[in-house]
Structure 1
Amino acid sequence: MHAWPASEVPALPGKGRDLQIHDTATQGTITLAPGPVARIYVCGITPYDATHIGHAATYNAFDLVQRVWLDTKRQVHYVQNVTDVDDPLLERALRDGHDWTELAERETALFREDMTALRMLPPQHYIGAVEAIPGIVPLVERLRDAGAAYELDGDVYFSVESDAHFGGVSNLDAEAMRLLSAERGGDPDRPGKKNPLDPMLWMAARPGEPSWDGGSLGRGRPGWHIECVAIALDHLGMGFDIQGGGSDLAFPHHEMGASHAQALTGEFPMAKAYVHAGMVALHGEKMSKSKGNLVFVSALRRAGVDPVAIRLALLSHHYRADWEWTDDVLAEAVARLERWRAAVSRPDGLPADALVEEVREALANDLDAPAALAAVDRWVDAQNASDGDDESAPGLVSRTVDALLGVAL
Structure 2
Amino acid sequence: MSIHQIFPDTRKYTFGKAGLPIFILTAPALAISLLSNNPLQQELETWHYAAPMLPFIMLAVVDGMRRLEKLHLNHFYAHGRNKKWGDKNQISIMLTIILLCSSFTYHYFRGYSPLSKPFHLPNVTQHHAIGDEIAATIPQSASVMAQAELVPHISQREHVSIWTGDFSSDIDYIFFDISHPKFINADNAQTNLISTMIYESNFGLMVSRDGYLLLKREATRKPTQDGFQDFLFADNQQAQSKFVPAKFGDILSLVGMDVHVNRKEEAEVSLYFHVLQQPNDDYFIHLYLLDDMGHVKGATVFQQPVLVWWPTHLWQAGQIIKVRFNTLSWWTADRTDVFSYAVGISYEADPWDVDSRLHVVCQRTNRILILHEQEKKPCLILADNLVYLQDFKRMACMVYAVKGNDENNR
Q: After TM superposition, is the score higher than 0.5?
A: no
The structure richer in helix per residue is: 1
Greater relative CO, 1 or 2 (CA 8 Å, sep 6+): 1
CA radius of gyration, larger in: 2
> TM-score, structure 2 length as denominator?
0.24
> TM-score, structure 1 length as denominator?
0.24
